A and B are shown apart, each in its own frame.
Chain A
Amino acid sequence: MAEEKERKKEEEKEDVEELKELLSVVSKEVPALIKGIIASVFSEEAGRDMGKAAAAFYKELKEAGMPDDVAVKMTEGYISAFTSLGEVMKRAVSGRKGVEDKELEKEISKRIKEKLAEKGLAEKEEEEEGDEEED
């Protein structure tokens, strides 16, 4: 009985130690990881680099004789490639929703096919009726 109590105590102690180690690593690594991800997009340097790329694109368009408003619109389209990062994140987080979307897509295409098939049959019947009347 005493041995069992001792063993239980030891196990509890080990669990606490393990959790302590785990939390000490997580509390250091997770914020650093998130900070790194944020800094790769939202930092002065990243903004400057992205601005340089967009500005070079805009400059080339202007030098090629593109009107100002068209050049701005095209640069906007060029930048929108980066904006899709938000969409990627949304999809990554809500992975289940993607599956639901696919199911919905399948259901819609199935219904459309059914309707088309029905319509095709109806048209055939109409044609046949028309032929019979002509005869």
Chain B
Amino acid sequence: MKLRGIISLVLHATRLLLSLLALWLSFGWRVRKARKAFEKELVKMGMAKKDAEKLSSWYSKLKNDIMQTVKSYIFARR
């Protein structure tokens, strides 16, 4: 009974870690998709592509900020 409980615990913990890993891996892809959609709308309204790319750079900045915050939070806890 106890062994079954421990196995179940390990399985749940593994599932949690795998889900978080998948989220982390898909984060960059999601950012790129959002950025492209954002640029597309701006270009549609007549903005130059160069300007649209410049404006959409805040997506990357925001992504970097979030990653940095998460990293510093994890390492500060250690």
Contact = CB atoms under 8 A, between A and B. Distances in A.
Contacts of B65: 86-87, 89-90
Contacts of B31: 42
A42 B20 CA distance: 16
A113 interface: no
Q: Interface residue tally of chain B, by bracket?
A: 35 or more
Chain A residues touching B, range: 35 or more
A44 interface: yes
A87 B59 CA distance: 13
Given A26-B16, A89-B65, A44 B45 contact: no
Given A38-B23, A44-B36, 14 more contacts: A20-B12, A24-B12, A30-B20, A43-B30, A43-B33, A45-B37, A48-B37, A48-B38, A50-B38, A51-B40, A54-B55, A55-B42, A82-B62, A87-B65
